[in-house]
Structure formats: C-alpha cells, structure tokens
Structure 1
Amino acid sequence: MNKNRLEAFSDGVLAIVITIMVLEIKFPSGDEWTDLQPLIPVFLSYTLSFIYIGIYWNNHHHMLHTVTKVNGKLMWANLHLLFWLSLIPFTTGWVGENSFAAFPMAVYGIILLMSAIAYFILQRLILHSQGPDSILAKALGKDLKGKLSPIMYLLAIGASWIDPAISGAIYLFVALMWLIPDLRIEKMIIAETD
C-alpha cells in the first residue's frame, strides 16, 4: 500500500480532532470581559491539547516520511494511535469544564500515556518492517525523550491525586520537551539523499 493514503487519513483524523476540541469551547453568555473568565480553564486545556496534537502530527509526519512500504500491521498500529488521540477532545473538555480537578487530570494523563504507548508500538513496527539500517533506526538512536515521556505521564497521573497543578505542570513539561522539533529524522533523510 502507498504510504500517502495512510498519511492523508491520519492528517484528516487529526484535523477533525482539533476541530472537535475548538467546537467544544462554548460562547460566553455575556459581552463583558468578566464573562470570559469561566472559560480560562477551558482555553488553557484546549491550548495544551492543541500543542500535543501538533506534536503528534509533526512527529508522525516525520516518522512516516521514512517509511518505504506500508502493511496491514502498520495500518492497524496507526489506527490504534489515532484511537487514543481521538479521545483527547473528550478529556480536554472534561479537564477544562472541571477546572483541572484531580480525576479528569488523571484520565487526561492516561489518554496521553496510551497515546505515547500507541506511538511507540507504531514506531517499533515501522522499525521492524524497515530493518535495522533504516533511516528511522539510525535517526532514533537512544530516543531518550520517547523513554522519558511515559514515565513522566505516570508521575503526573499519580500527582493528580496530590495536587492537580503538579500534574498539569508535568504535562506541560513533556509538551515543551517535545515542542522543539526533533531534527534527527530530517538530518538522516538529508544525509541519505546527498
């Protein structure tokens, strides 16, 4: 199968996820600045989730750029990732509507953790199908950020019961850690084409 179809489908799903998230933000009933104040937690949760979706979209794009062939396993692994990412709007809305309460923050972390695991599975299947000398294998190296993220999510899930602000700070830290584009794949693709 051509990887372009897989990329286009994934891009479409992620675009819908972002659209659903923004449509969940309700208009204030008044026309004063103070009428916007109750929406601050909703907007903050939307912003964090938008960043996460952007990070996944960016890294997914780079990772799929290294793929030379797509098989059924990769398609199912990609759908698995999209499943977890498609739940982000639900948890985003829940967190925002409940002003970052403990249980919604824990569930938000579970969705982020499962998304990270699904991404890892997709990455491993790509590595297995493309071989140890593939661009992706060379680019990943030790993948410290990829190994640290699930640990941070687990810490944040636990911290949500102590203080949801700590949990939110950890989610923000992981997002900021990934916000800087991962140039390893780009560098390897350029090196391979030179």
Structure 2
Amino acid sequence: MLRNPRKHNFDQFSDQEKEKLNNVKKELIEAQKNEPESLREHLQAFNDGVMAIIITIIVLEIQPALHEVHYQQFINNIVVFLITFFIVADFWYDLHLAFSYYIFKPSKTIAILDFFFLADLSLLPVMTKWIMAETSTFAVANFGIVFLIAKILEYLIQYFGARKTAKYSQIMNIIISRSLMIKMFITLFLNIILIVLSLFNAKLAMILYLVIPVISFLFPVKRTKIM
C-alpha cells in the first residue's frame, strides 16, 4: 500500500528557512502588485515596436522610378505612404496620451483589446500595397474597413483604460465627455462616408483619409489627468 505523503509542518523549518520563505512570499506579493504597472510598460514598448515595423514595411513597398514613365506611379506611391504614415502616427499619438493620462494599471481586457488593435493595424501594409498596385474602389474600401475597426478598438481601449483607473462617475467626466463623444462621432462618421465615397471615386477617398488624422491632431480631446 502507498503511504500518505508526509505533510510538512511550517514549525519544523529552521528560523533561517522560515525567513527565506517569508522573503519569497513578500517578493511574490510585491511582484503581483507591480504586475499591472509592468504590463503597462511592456504594452507601450510593444505598441511602439509594432507600429515602427508597420511604417517600415510600408515604406519598403515604394518602388523606385527606374524609368521616366514610372515616375508618376512613384509619386503616387509616396502620397499613399504619407497618408498611411500619418494615420499610424495618429493612432500612436492617441495611445500615448491614453497610457500617459489614465491607463496606469492595464487589465487583461485592455491587453487583449490592444493585441486585437495591433493585429488589425498590421493589415495596413497589405492594404497600402494593394492601393499602390491599383487604386481601385475595392482596395480603398477594404483599407477603410481596416481603419474603422482599428478606430473602434482604440476607443474601447480608452474606455476600459479609464474605467479601470477611476470610478464610474469620474469616467463620465473623462472618457465619455462631450469632446470625446464628438470626436468619436466625427471620425466614425467620416470613415463610413469615405468607404461609401471610395465606391465612386477611390483616389479622392484615399486622399481625404488624411482629414481624420489632421482633425485628431488639430482638435485633440481634452483630458484631465487622474491623480
């Protein structure tokens, strides 16, 4: 018959062993307390790295004009790159403000939303390459869909980030403020309009996508830092 495993009694340990166990326990408790703050730093670094790679991939898609007949296409590709560059830069800027002002201890929900956001944003190089190859209505419309999904995920990150940090009454004054609601309505409404417009004039719709990051930079959402 198998004997029951011997149960160790804490009192059987020496004072030195007890001290070591208590130190380990304190370190684990301290690590658990600092885990959200550490996650915040890692998420910020991850966002910076992924967005830098996205921009790098996009610029590598620009083919040099080896002949004069290709120069017009070369200029068009640079314009498309600049549009996507400022869109990605706007996303980075908004997330930077969010993590600076109220996402101090991100939860697992915020991390998951951030991963989905980056996964969706990583499709922009493919969409940009598609538009560089052929500025068709279908290509621009798909670009707009990817952008719209990224915007929705960005707003969800901001909402749950502020909700994690402050009480619900404070959230109403921070994230669901009038300025943020206006910004959300304008950006989402413009994106839907541009998707529809791309079905009729793809080149014009693609150029007008610059309007959204320009509005975001010129009219930023006023935020109150949570102490």
What's the TM-score, normalizing by structure 1? 0.86
Shift of 1:24: 1.1
Shift of 1:134: 5.1
| Deviation readout 1:161-191 (Å, 9 max, x if unpaired) | 1222442244222222113262623xx23xx
Asked whether the equivalents of residues 87 and 210 of structure 2 are also in contact (C-alpha less than 8 Å), the reply is no
| Deviation readout 1:128-174 (Å, 9 max, x if unpaired) | 21233558952662211122211111111111112224422442222
Shift of 1:110: 0.5
Does residue 184 (structure 1) correspond to residue 222 (structure 2)? The answer is yes
Aligned to 1:154: 192
| 1-structure distance, mates of 2:77, 2:57 | 13
Identity %: 23
1:73 to 103, 106, 109: 109
Asked whether the equivalents of residues 17 and 86 of structure 1 are also in contact (C-alpha less than 8 Å), the reply is yes
Secondary structure at 2:64's aligned position in 1? coil
* Cα RMSD, aligned residues only: 2.2
Secondary structure at 2:58's aligned position in 1? helix
What's the TM-score, normalizing by structure 2? 0.74
1:108 to 102, 123, 143: 143
Asked whether the equivalents of residues 162 and 175 of structure 2 are also in contact (C-alpha less than 8 Å), the reply is no
| 2-structure distance, mates of 1:62, 1:154 | 25
Aligned to 2:53: 16
Asked whether the equivalents of residues 159 and 175 of structure 2 are also in contact (C-alpha less than 8 Å), the reply is no
Aligned length: 186
Does residue 28 (structure 1) correspond to residue 39 (structure 2)? The answer is no
Secondary structure at 1:162's aligned position in 2? coil
Asked whether the equivalents of residues 46 and 93 of structure 1 are also in contact (C-alpha less than 8 Å), the reply is no
1:124 to 153, 159, 182: 159
Asked whether the equivalents of residues 109 and 157 of structure 1 are also in contact (C-alpha less than 8 Å), the reply is yes
Asked whether the equivalents of residues 127 and 143 of structure 2 are also in contact (C-alpha less than 8 Å), the reply is yes
Look at both structures and tell me which one has the larger radius of gyration over its CA atoms: 2
Which moves more between the two structures, 139-148 or 121-130? 139-148
Shift of 1:80: 1.1
**Runs ≥4 in structure 1, deviation > 4 angstroms?**
133-137
